Amino acid sequence: MFEFHRNEQLLFSTVWLLFVVLTVVIAIGPALTSQSTNEPLPTSEPMTDLERKGLKVYVNEGCVYCHTQQVRPVKPDENLGRPSAPGDFARVERPGIWRQTPAILGSERTGPDLTNVGKRQPSGQWHLMHLYNPRAVVSESIMPSFKWLFRVVDRPAEDATVVSMPGGYGPEDGTLVATDRAETLVAYLQSLDQAPLPGQDAAGGGSKKGSTSSPAKEAGGPDGASIYASSCASCHQSNGAGVPGAFPPLKGDPVVTAEDPRRHVEIILEGLSGKKIEGTSYSAAMPGFADQLDDDEIAAVVNHERTSWGNSAPTVEPEDVEAIRKAMKEASDESL
């Protein structure tokens, strides 16, 4: 009746109309609905200008080719954080009306998911070392080096961020300093810290700090080796040897092998920085895990450290960790 094969104008007009309708229904409509119904999580913070610049570096350097930012609700992802929610990405805005929202979700895990890397690895010095030479902190890493984000100088400026590399991994001569692009990228990575969903505690999972039921406990207790691998090994290394000049060894460390485990537990709970260990100063600060790990998990990782790599020290019970945590809180309250 319409003789599409004879009326080219009608044919192409119909095809164009169908294209526009499908674009609105499949792409534009869902995008507008998603933006209007998914608000940022209540406790999340907008990105700072520095972090936004870091996001641009993250995209420009192709980090999305190997890393994702979408934790799946499956067991292999449990050590990466809670499953991702739409509100996690509501702070990622379009850089301009004619530019699309930066693609950060990724689709391949050649490298680990980075959704919660700011909480899993909050040390800026670690990130800088990892960017300059990933093998310096993760011996089996296949990540390429991003050495163009750094400079080697004879005399660093007073406000320069000096990067301490272990022997054999840094430049042979001169001092390694981070460029502005490296610093903004690290600022962005450190900002990737999952905010808790409504109804969850600050740890993000509802199973920390005294919870009595978790999958690990129901299976017979947390696995200290797995917790160490996901939360500690990137700095202290899988063999407990640490990274010279950056992260102290746990193998043979007097605190780890001490008869009294109190100080060992305290350091894991509150972190440590600015103190010499066996006469050596380390450039990176250790974060505290009081809000990330519950008493059972801390006891498990403490026991793993105290009985591995040739260490042989008395182990602890979750009740011991609970008592130390309580004593630290009471001491903190009294000092206020």
Which tens digits make up the pLDDT trace of 179-222? 999 999 999 999 999 998 887 655 444 344 444 434 444 456 88
pLDDT above 90 for 83: yes
Residue 156's closest CA among 170, 173, 177? 177
pTM for the whole structure: 0.74
Domain around 75 = 49-191
At 228-273, the pLDDT tens digits run 988 888 889 889 988 887 888 999 999 999 999 999 999 999 988 8
In whole angstroms, give the CA distance from residue 144 to residue 146: 6
Percentage of residues of the chain with pLDDT beyond 70: 92
Residue 154 lies in a domain: yes
Same domain, 67 and 187: yes
Q: What single letter denotes the amino acid at residue 155?
A: R
In whole angstroms, give the CA distance from residue 137 to residue 290: 24
Residue 225 lies in a domain: yes
Range 82-102 average pLDDT: 85
Residue 206 lies in a domain: no
Same domain, 54 and 187: yes
Same domain, 182 and 54: yes
Residue 198 lies in a domain: no
pLDDT above 70 for 334: yes
Residue 16 lies in a domain: no
Residue 305 lies in a domain: yes
Residue 14 lies in a domain: no
Same domain, 231 and 121: no
On whether the CB atoms of residues 111 and 153 are closer than 8 A, the answer is: no
Same domain, 255 and 147: no
Same domain, 171 and 63: yes
Range 271-276 average pLDDT: 81
Residue 197's closest CA among 291, 74, 83, 116? 83
Phi, psi (5° rounding) for residue 269? -70, -45
pLDDT of 2 reads 64
Same domain, 285 and 187: no
In whole angstroms, give the CA distance from residue 211 to residue 199: 14
Same domain, 167 and 221: no
CATH code of 173's domain = 1.10.760.10
Mean of the per-residue pLDDT values of the chain? 86
At 293-306, the pLDDT tens digits run 899 999 999 999 99
Same domain, 222 and 328: yes
Domain count, the chain: 2
Q: Which of 176, 191, 206 is the last residue of a domain?
A: 191
On whether the CB atoms of residues 106 and 100 are closer than 8 A, the answer is: no
Same domain, 184 and 63: yes
Same domain, 175 and 68: yes
In whole angstroms, give the CA distance from residue 130 to residue 146: 9
Same domain, 181 and 82: yes
pLDDT of 214 reads 42
On whether the CB atoms of residues 194 and 88 are closer than 8 A, the answer is: yes
